[in-house]
Amino acid sequence: MDKLKDYGIKVLDKAFNLLSYFYEKEELSLKELVELSGLNRSTVYRIMQAFQKWGFVLQHPENKKYRLSLKIVEMAGNVLRKMNLINICRPYLLELRDRTGESSFLSILREMNILIIDWEPSYYDVHINVTVGKAVPAYCSGAGKAILAFLAEKDLEELLSKHPLKRYTENTITDKERLLKVLEETRTRGYGLSSGEYDRDIVVAGAPIFNIHNRVIASCAIGALKSRVRDEKQMHEYGKLVKEAASEIS
């Protein structure tokens, strides 16, 4: 019986390990999952077939790549919405949205990505595409920079050593020294800014949220279409608003 129990735990461990790779990329092929996990092809195939059966992943009919389904994102969202952090932050997200008309969102750090755990959509018909469960490279977003800037130096160095700074647009910061300088500026003013660094049409201002031990645990942010932001001054105005909200939350 103990052997069967141990076997079951090992299978679950492999399965959840495969799911974790979708934090980094939205779509992954069977070959990519095999290479990332180090598991044999037949094991990965069986696990992904089981995930498909339960509706946790979808497979593209043409390129055959897998992606997480809305079902698993919705399940995660339902759990996350019950967390105290979200309940505490919700009124502030609403206020940020109401004061600016733009989308506001709450993020946590997962490796070198921010994971959006709650959001309030803009009043505008056309607004940024934000969904609960969406992952964005932290160094490409004002929301992510707000968290990275306040990590312990050792933790930040570890992240930077493990994750190359990949280019997404012509504005993406791919040089480590330049990023460290930007994070230093973020610490000084208390909020992070990004303009077209992951999506060239989006600007974000984010500020860090701290726990009772003064450790950064999340960020609240405003995200807007670049075409609606007049100038850099308006970006800093958004930065001051999120800084004020984050300070009241912390």
What phi and psi values does residue 199 have, to the nearest 5 degrees? -120, 120
**Where do the CATH 1.10.10.10 domains begin and end in the chain?**
2-68
Identify the CA nearest to 216 among candidates 156, 128, 175.
156
Within a 10 A sphere around the Cβ of 184, how many other Cβ atoms? Answer: 10
Span 141-181, pLDDT tens digits: 999 999 999 999 999 999 999 899 999 999 999 999 999 99
Domain spanning 2-68, CATH architecture: Orthogonal Bundle (1.10)
pLDDT digit string, tens, across residues 39-95 = 999 999 999 999 988 888 898 888 999 988 877 776 776 666 556 788 889 999 999
CA dihedral (141, 202, 129, 193) positive or negative: positive
Cβ(216)–Cβ(151) below 8 Å: yes
Unique residue bearing structure tokens 């012509």: 170
Q: Which residue has the tokens 């733009």?
A: 102
Q: Edge-to-edge, what's the strand order for the sheet holding 135-137?
A: 135-137, 113-120, 103-110, 216-225, 202-210, 192-195
CATH of 74-249, one of 3.30.450.40, 3.40.190.10, 3.20.20.70, 3.40.1170.10: 3.30.450.40
Instruction: Give residue-wise pLDDT tens across range 94-114.
Output: 999 999 999 999 999 988 999
Do 130 and 223 meet the contact criterion of CB atoms below 8 Å apart? yes
Which helix (H) or strand (E) is 178 found in, with range?
Answer: helix 176-189
- Classify the C-alpha dihedral 178-184-188-193 as positive or negative: positive
Cα-to-chain-centroid distance, residue 144: 8
Q: How far apart are CA 93 and CA 195, in angstroms?
A: 21
CA 212 from chain centre, in angstroms, equals 23
Report the distance separating Cα 57 and Cα 160, nearest Å.
30
How far apart CA 108 and CA 80 sit, in angstroms, is 11
Q: pLDDT tens-digit profile of 169-226? A: 999 999 999 999 999 999 999 999 999 999 999 999 999 999 888 899 999 999 999 8
**pTM confidence score:** 0.68
Burial of 178 (0-12, 13-18, 19+ CB in 10 A): exposed
174/167 Cα distance (integer angstroms): 6
